Each structure stands twice: as structure tokens, then as C-alpha cells.
Structure 1
């Protein structure tokens, strides 16, 4: 008899908010029929900001329309603009460079650490010039950048430090939460993030209350919250519309108490993968646990990445290549890259990275099947374990 076809394991969970549908509908009804008729920047947004401030020990948390917008607001509040350079990683998500371009500054691309895949502090320092205004450091996959080194570098050279922690909520390094190592950090709440929601949104977080006030003004057309239709200029920037949705704020408040459990489930799956993949030739896996880790996505580096992806697909497992090109290779950012420049570690990461399914709804049996398929690929390749 022919074996029945395998049920595919998707990369993105189809049931991310399945248990929250009734709560979401109740929230929409509550906001939509409320006497206040306040749909943006209302009491729920203020409560969410306060809850996150208390949890993180931040001086301020400012809710914005997206993590990308939050990055641009943070740069503007830090007085980064035309004529300035900002050193960014050559490998990672587009907002690392696009936020810099948006505020009129120039991104300068630094190579990454070959293991963390985040910016290499030595490579970053080598690119600092008299025109450098800030360092924009991003955490990647499930590993925080070397923030103590970057904090020391920024302080030593008199630079501002922005932490793209959009995907790192739940991560800590040396006891300090992701997002609070820089002068400003950001989180993103898009559906696939660790504290995702069914919409767009994010926050700027900071240990500087005055910087928080500047971001708060910038996100709402430069208004100070006291005098409506009076639009202030903050340093070299003017305000824009980056306001947070009240329905999403109320929904996030309902889900916040369960965040630790969801993070813990993700972490258990990460640790299981790492134990299974230890010693696989041709497939480099993150270590089990450790300081500066957070369970966003689980990414391996495979010498035969495309062959591994095809093998997984044949076994009903959907994998994902997040960044098949370095940022300087992207058409949008190539004009900012010096002719002939190379970023060998970033280029190698772009050729080798492959992310496996990781979400709280993934069952133990599904995680085992995914791990079995990766290990079988190494065995079938004839490579020693």
C-alpha cells in the first residue's frame, strides 16, 4: 500500500491567534462601541506603554505604527540627519539601512561576526569617521549582538547607539533586556514576532526620559499632547504620523500575561533542535541556551542550503531563507556601497542561512519530525556526524 502523504508543517503558524479570536472580536466591539470613540493613542495605548515600562525598567516606552517607523523616529530624536553617517550591519533586515536613508543620513555597511551574524565591533569601529553620528546595531535570528562592546565603543567615540531589537523581545544580556543597551531600542509587533499581533505596530524604548518625550512628540505630527495643532520641530526632524491603534493596544494587553509561557515554549523547541543538531557536519546550529539568546527564529547555516531546503520540503517541512542577499547587494542600498567593497562574512551568511519552523503551537511530534529530517539530510549526504 502507498503511504498517505505527509501533512506539511508550515514555516509560519496558521494558528497564531486561533485561541484569541473571541478576545479580538470582543476588543473590537469594546473599542468600537465605547463612549470615548478613541481609536488611536487612547487609554489602552497608554496602559500598554506603562506595562512595558514596568516590565523592562525603561524610562519610557513609546508605541508607534511599526518597528520600522520606530527606528526612524529614534534616529530623528537623536538628531541624526543629512550629512551624517550611520554604521549598520551588512547582513540583516532592510530597515537597518532604510531607516537611515529615510532620515537623510548615509548608511555605512560593516561586516558581521561569523558566528553571531550580527555586526562585528572591530569592523564597525574601523568605519568610524568624523562624519559618523551613530551606530545602528541589530540583533538577528535568535542571538543578541555584542552590546557591551558596542556600548563601550559608542561611549569611547562619542557616538549615539541605536539598538534594532525589533525581533528580540524576551532577550537579555548580562541582565539587561534587549532594547535597553542603546540610547534607544525598538520592538516590532508584526504577527510573526515573539509578541506579535494581528496588525502593524512597535515601540521605541529608552532609558532616557527626555529622548522618550521627543519620540512621543515626533510620532504624532510633532504635537506635544497639550497644545493640539501646534507642531514642534525636534532637532532636525519634524513630526509624522506613527500612531498606535487602540484595538491592537487592548488586544496586546490581554495577551501580555501569557508572553513568558509562549517564550518558554519557543525556547524549549530551540534547545531541542540544538541538542539534535550538535555535531552535524555541514550544518552549523546555535548552541543550547546561553546569555543573549532569545527564541524568535531558529536558523542553521548549511553548506548546501538549497539542497537542505529541498530535502525538508520533500519531507513536508517548510523552511525559510530570510536574507538571501546582503544589504549592500540590494538595489535600494547599492548606491551607498563603495565600489568593489566586500563583506565576506555577510556574503557567506546570505548563502548559508536557513530557518526552521518555530512557534508555540508547534507540537513535540512536529519538532521531532523536523529534527529527524535535518539529521537524515546529513546522513544521506554521506557526511560524518
Structure 2
């Protein structure tokens, strides 16, 4: 644990590293360079670059890790959501309830299928969809609920599943930022009808390019997704449905298979860094991430909230410390969704979060010295401004 004084005066950021990145996936590569190169060579020498044993092996490993029957690799996390909703029959005239405070892809896939995203406000402490507001958003056209485990923090799946069961709705977990997190001991993604993951390079389990995966215990759903990802063919060259070209590359699967056994250790390191932030920033006028007793978040990002966000962003940047804003415009206020009729003030918690949240640097390989630099700079910012 870092040794930090509460006044933030001992050893300023000028004595720490000149630059602290927000994320640095290259360090992970350096730590696994040899086994990654060996995995790449194995795929290249096999001549099987699309699907094949590398993909099947990785799918089996993830299914085992998540405790589910099926894992289906696809091209990216967006496609994971898209193919899952398509396989569930979501289409024109349907509504899918989701959160306005997330990456655009969550709602984008609903719109791509001709359905309508219905936005429900978020919890102020976890930034996840507020399950207490779900039922009032359900209509006769509602087909599914699409919760997001944002920033690696599991949503309240117990409440969400109970509501879905009462109303006969599918639940698709957007776990793209949350692989390895748990809700009441169950893996994120394994609780709903299906769960979707992204292997974008900066994710907790990141590839060297795009990649995604779907997990489910539903045999029929898994089969429909497997057909959809290969142009809707079953068998090859025979098409009963129109599908997609969305397959996880063998090279990505082989590299991800090397990384998967390290995921729990990396997530534990993220949690240690999060705890260091908790213990050294708790007394400042900022909102820190919440952590419920029945959940195991994996801190894809460490998000704080302050009404002086833009000042703090500039202050850190001037000291060589990277930070980021996720997400500056909630989805219900995006220009493309103006026709849905949401206006400023309609989802106030999400709107406040969009104006005040920011991410501090956090990644498994982050050094004590780097984190001390961030902590001291944040403390000094508030000390200088009263």
C-alpha cells in the first residue's frame, strides 16, 4: 500500500515520473512476449487463420472460466451485442431498455436492428442502470433489458432478473468492460439470457486488435448465433437466414488464450490500485467508486466525480498525467436520438455524471511511483483551490 500524507505536500508530482498514461497495454505485451510470439507462430504455421482449433480452444476456456455451456467468438464487442439481439428476434417495433450512460454501441445495435432503445436513468453511486426505475419503462413492445456492467462494476442483476422474469423479457448483459467481475459469486455475463464481451486492446482482457465473444447457457440461442456469425450458413453455402461476417480471428484467439490465465491476477492488481485511491482520496470533495458487498468489480476504469472536472483534467495534463472522460454526452442527448423526445433534464443522474465524471490512471502494471504521482497531484489540486 502506498504511504501518503493527508496534506498532500510531501514529494510533489515534480518528483515523480514525468508522464503517467491512463492505460498502457504495451506493458502487458512485454510481460508475455515469448508465449505470445509462440502462439502467433503456431497459428501462422497451422495455415488455419479463420475459426479452427485456436478459436474453439479459446471459446472452451472462456466458457469454463465463466461457468457457462457456450462461448461464441465474434469480430468485436459491438457484434457480440448485435448478433445476440438479432438471434433473440429483436427487430422493428420492439423496444429494448438500456442505460443512457455507456458507450454508444450499446444503443447503436438496438437501432441497427430497427428496434427502439428506451433509456432509464442510472444509480448515482455505481453509474449502472437503476433497477428501481425499470418497470415503469416497460411497455407491450418491450422485448429485452440490456444492462451494462459499466467500468467493471456489475449491475444489480438480482433485481433486473426478477423484473425480467415477471414480464417475460430477455436480459442481455453488456459485460464488455467487466470480464472477471462477479455478482453474488456468479461471473458477469453468465446471469442473463446471454452475456457479451469485448477484447478491445485496452479491456481487462485485451487483444491486439478487435475481438468479441458471447456466452450463454441456451443451446438454441448459441446455435443461432453460430449460424449468424458465418453469413447465416448452415451448412456452408446453404442459407436459411441472412447473417453476418463476424468471426474472431484465430490470431486474436490464440493470443487471448495466452492472456486468459493471467486475468484474475490482473484484476486483483486493478483492485489493489483502486483500494490505494480509495484510501488516499476519500477525504477530498470528490465522489469515489462504490463497491457493494455482494459484487466483485474489476475496475476497468477508476472513475471519480467532481464539479471541477474540467479544471482537474487540465491540471493533471499540465503535470504529465493522463486522464479521460467517459462519457461526455449521455446517449439520450445524442443528436441521432433527438427524435426519441428526450430532453435536458429528462434523465438527470446520467446528465450529472456526464458533466462531472473522469477516469484516473489505473492498469495492472502501474507502479507505486506512478500512482503516487497521481494521488499527490489530485490532492494538491484541491489544496491549492481550497
Q: Structure 2 length as normaliser, TM-score?
A: 0.92
Name 1:232's counterpart in structure 2: 240
Structure 1 segment 276-355 matched on structure 2, within 5 A:
276-281=280-285, 283-287=286-290, 290-292=293-295, 293-338=297-342, 342-355=346-359
Indicate the SS of the match to 1:284.
coil
Native 8 Å contact 1:97 1:333 kept in 2: no
C-alpha distance in 1 between matches for 2:28 and 2:259: 12
Quote the offset at 1:6 in angstroms.
5.1
* CA deviation after TM superposition for structure 1 residue 313, in Å: 1.5
Match of 1:7 in 2: 18
Distance 1:185 1:93 in 2: 16
- The more displaced of 19-28 and 78-87 is 19-28
1:166 aligns with one of 158, 162, 176: 176
**Count of aligned positions:** 371
Q: Which has the higher contact order (CA 8 A, sep 6+)?
A: 2
Equivalent residue number for residue 32 of structure 2? 20
Pair 1:38-2:44 in alignment: no
CA distance in 2, matches of 1:278, 1:301: 12
Q: Is the Cα contact below 8 Å between 2:125 and 2:290 reproduced in 1? A: no
Q: Distance in 2 between matches of 1:381 and 1:270?
A: 25
Q: Partner of 2:10 in structure 1?
A: none
Aligned residue number for residue 264 of structure 1: 268
Please name the residue that 1:273 is paired with: 277
Q: Which runs of 5+ in 2 are unaligned?
A: 1-13
Q: Deviations over 1:200-238 (max 9, x none)?
A: 0011111212211111111111123xx2111232xxxx3
Distance in 1 (alpha carbons) for counterparts of 2:61 and 2:384: 50
CA distance in 2 between partners of 1:229 and 1:378 (Å): 64
1:380 aligned onto 2:350: no
Contact 2:36 2:258 in 1 (8 A): no
Instruction: Give unmatched runs, 5+ long, in structure 1.
Output: none
State the superposition RMSD in angstroms: 1.8
CA contact (8 A) 2:101 2:122 kept: yes
Q: Are the equivalent residues in 1 in contact too, given 2:323–2:359 (CA < 8 A)?
A: yes
- Structure-2 residue corresponding to 1:136: 146
C-alpha distance in structure 1 between counterparts of 2:351 and 2:15, whole Å? 40
Q: CA deviation at 1:289?
A: 7.7
> TM-score, normalization: structure 1?
0.92
Q: Which of 74, 93, 102 is equivalent to 2:84?
A: 74
Residues 312, 319 of structure 1: 8 Å contact kept: yes
**Paired residue for 1:212, among 217, 222, 241?**
222
Structure 1 position 287, deviation (Å): 4.2
